[in-house]
């Protein structure tokens, strides 16, 4: 009988030898670790990396959320229309009077006024003043629409500038200034019509004053500013709580000493090889 703690083994000749239990040739080898825990750890790290990437994309979208292409394009059209209207000499057309000129505009009254315009009853000092006021409001409209365009393109985060852009204050001012220019143009046309009726070229000639291309350009600039205002006012913006949460995530991202790949690579290393 074999001693306790020893096992009996037989070789090919039928002879047996004793060996300690668990150390003989018939003992089952010890199982290797499966490594499922390491795989689960890697899966959790990958999920965390994906969530961090999504948060980074959300912060990137939040940084550019203040920019508005839908309102910047009509704003650019308004700037172009106002600049063209100011440079175009044709604002009012005259027919039937003693004035030799058929078209008048703000370019005729900026700086030196030609004496023949007053001598031929093309305009009077009140009309000159109105045309200069029209030019001043056109300059103001260009400045306001340019400021609104820059706010839409860059989307600053300063509270005052952000409120100004979101509520389209600059675009609304542009609309009001375009409406003011249209009103002064109508007033100037009425003054010119009254003056030409007093100084007809012939006794029975028909006198009338019409608006030229610059008037319609200013009206188009006002319409483009209305579209830009609607694009800003109808847009959905994040709430104050969402903005604070995104800012907190951004600060936490900046405070990390290592990149997101460092944790994935180094946190879950596989266990060392088994040694008996």
pLDDT 10s digits, 160-190: 998 898 899 999 999 999 999 999 999 999 9
Q: Which two tokens stand for residue 220?
A: 């188009």
Which tens digits make up the pLDDT trace of 82-111? 999 999 889 999 888 788 888 999 988 988
216 strand-pairing partners:
none
User: What whole-number percentage of the chain has pLDDT above 70?
Assistant: 62
Rounded to whole angstroms, how far apart are CA atoms 185 and 193?
A: 12
Mean pLDDT of the 149-165 span? 90
* Rg of the chain taking only CA atoms, in angstroms: 42
Counting Cα atoms < 13 Å in the Cβ hemisphere of 10 gives 4
Rounded to whole angstroms, how far apart are CA atoms 1 and 276?
A: 31
pLDDT for res 46: 54
pLDDT for res 142: 96
Residue 271 vs residues 21, 39, 261: alpha-carbon distances, Å: 29, 11, 20
Cβ 268 vs Cβ 42: under 8 Å:
yes
- Between CA 190 and CA 197, with CA 195 as vertex, the angle to 5 degrees is 95
β-bridge pairing 103-104 and 16-20: unpaired
- Between CA 153 and CA 223, with CA 136 as vertex, the angle to 5 degrees is 50
Give the alpha-carbon dihedral of 20, 25, 27, 32, to 10 degrees.
Answer: 120
Report the mean per-residue pLDDT for the chain: 77
Longest CA span, the chain? 151
Read off the pLDDT band of 250 (50, 70, 90).
low
pLDDT for res 222: 96
Residue 19 vs residues 13, 26, 29, 45, 236: alpha-carbon distances, Å: 17, 10, 16, 48, 82
Rounded to whole angstroms, how far apart are CA atoms 107 and 117?
A: 13
Which tens digits make up the pLDDT trace of 189-229? 999 999 888 888 777 778 889 999 999 999 999 999 999 99
In the block, tokens 């985060």 appear at 157
Burial class (CB in 10 A: 0-12, 13-18, 19+), 68: buried
- Between CA 216 and CA 166, with CA 148 as vertex, the angle to 5 degrees is 120
Write out the DSSP string of 36-47: HHHHHHHHHHHH
């Amino acid at each position: 009988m074999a001693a306790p703690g020893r096992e009996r083994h037989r070789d090919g000749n039928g002879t047996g030898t004793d060996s300690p239990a668990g150390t003989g040739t018939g003992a089952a080898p010890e199982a290797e670790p499966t490594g499922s825990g390491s795989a689960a750890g890697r899966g959790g790290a990958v999920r965390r990396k994906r969530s961090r990437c999504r948060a980074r994309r959300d912060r990137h979208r939040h940084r550019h959320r203040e920019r508005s292409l839908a309102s910047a394009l009509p704003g650019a059209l308004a700037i172009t229309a106002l600049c063209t209207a100011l440079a175009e000499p044709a604002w009012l057309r005259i027919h039937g009077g003693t004035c030799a000129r058929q078209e008048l505009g703000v370019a005729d009254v900026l700086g030196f006024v030609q004496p023949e315009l007053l001598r031929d009853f093309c305009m009077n000092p009140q009309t000159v003043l109105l045309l200069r006021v029209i030019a001043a409001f056109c300059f103001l409209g260009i400045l306001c629409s340019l400021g609104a365009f820059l706010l839409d393109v860059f989307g600053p985060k300063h509270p005052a500038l952000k409120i100004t852009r979101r509520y389209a204050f600059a675009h609304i001012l542009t609309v009001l200034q375009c409406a003011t220019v249209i009103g002064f143009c109508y007033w100037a046309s009425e003054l010119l019509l009254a003056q030409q009726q007093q100084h007809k070229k012939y006794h029975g000639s028909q006198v009338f004053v019409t608006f030229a291309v610059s008037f319609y350009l200013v009206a188009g600039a006002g319409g483009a500013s209305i579209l830009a205002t609607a694009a800003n006012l109808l847009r959905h913006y994040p709430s104050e709580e969402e903005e604070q949460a995104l800012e907190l995530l951004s600060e936490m991202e900046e405070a990390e000493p290592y990149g997101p790949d460092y944790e994935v690579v180094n946190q879950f290393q596989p266990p060392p090889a088994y040694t008996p």
